[in-house]
Amino acid sequence: METFEAILKRRSIRRYKGKEITEGQIKKLLEAAMAAPSAHNNQPWEFVVVKDKEMRSKLSKVHSYAWMCAESPLVIVVCGDTDSLQWIDDCSAAAENMLLTGTEMGLGSCWIAARGTKYSGKDDEQVIREILGIPKTIGVLCMLSFGYPDEEKAPRTQYNEDKIHRERY
């Protein structure tokens, strides 16, 4: 699959079939993540791979927009060393690489909020940190759910000329 095709094909898929994702596929997703650009090549990312049903069930209850973690056979929690000034930028690049690689592999995926939201009524990042035993110095950017899609969404471009400013804003 061409990169641009994967970019348009990637949609937030929240319904998954039960089919397992292999360790080989997980390794490929993580390899894609770690090939991302990062400021000074700091690579501040850390990943928590969650397959366990009980753990996924806990993550699904963190907030009302995380329910698909219970259904998806795989959740990868994208974290980063907060001592690294640009950890959010770096980890976002790593996360998107995983979404696109998943798309290429025929997997559906969804980015689930963790950092900066209080959908749970508490700091969502802190709630996830406690569930997974993530140290305080490590930030939690997002959770990514992956699975074979059980819903279809059409590829699309959201190209909008109004968002483009040439030479100056």
Ligand X SMILES: Cc1cc2nc3c(=O)[nH]c(=O)nc-3n(C[C@H](O)[C@H](O)[C@H](O)COP(=O)(O)O)c2cc1C
**What are the residues binding ligand X (CB under 6 A)?**
11-12, 14, 65-66, 110-113
Distances in Å between the Cα of 128 and the Cα atoms of 5, 39, 125, 140, 142 are 33, 26, 5, 8, 10
CB atoms within 10 A of CB 165: 7
CB of 7 to ligand X, least distance (A): 10
Select 39 or 113, whichever has its Cβ closest to ligand X.
113
CB of 95 to ligand X, least distance (A): 8
Distances in Å between the Cα of 21 and the Cα atoms of 27, 35, 60, 79, 84 are 10, 21, 19, 21, 31
CB of 167 to ligand X, least distance (A): 29
CB of 61 to ligand X, least distance (A): 13
Query: Do 103 and 96 meet the contact criterion of CB atoms below 8 Å apart?
Result: no
**Cα 60 to Cα 111: distance, rounded to the nearest angstrom:** 13
Query: What string of H, E and C letters represents the secondary structure of 126-141?
Result: HHHHHHHCCCCCEEEE
Select 46 or 119, whichever has its Cβ closest to ligand X.
119
Select 11 or 44, whichever has its Cβ closest to ligand X.
11
Select 92 or 167, whichever has its Cβ closest to ligand X.
92
Select 93 or 168, whichever has its Cβ closest to ligand X.
93
Give me the helices (H) in 48-168, please. Answer: 53-60, 87-104, 124-132
CB of 59 to ligand X, least distance (A): 11
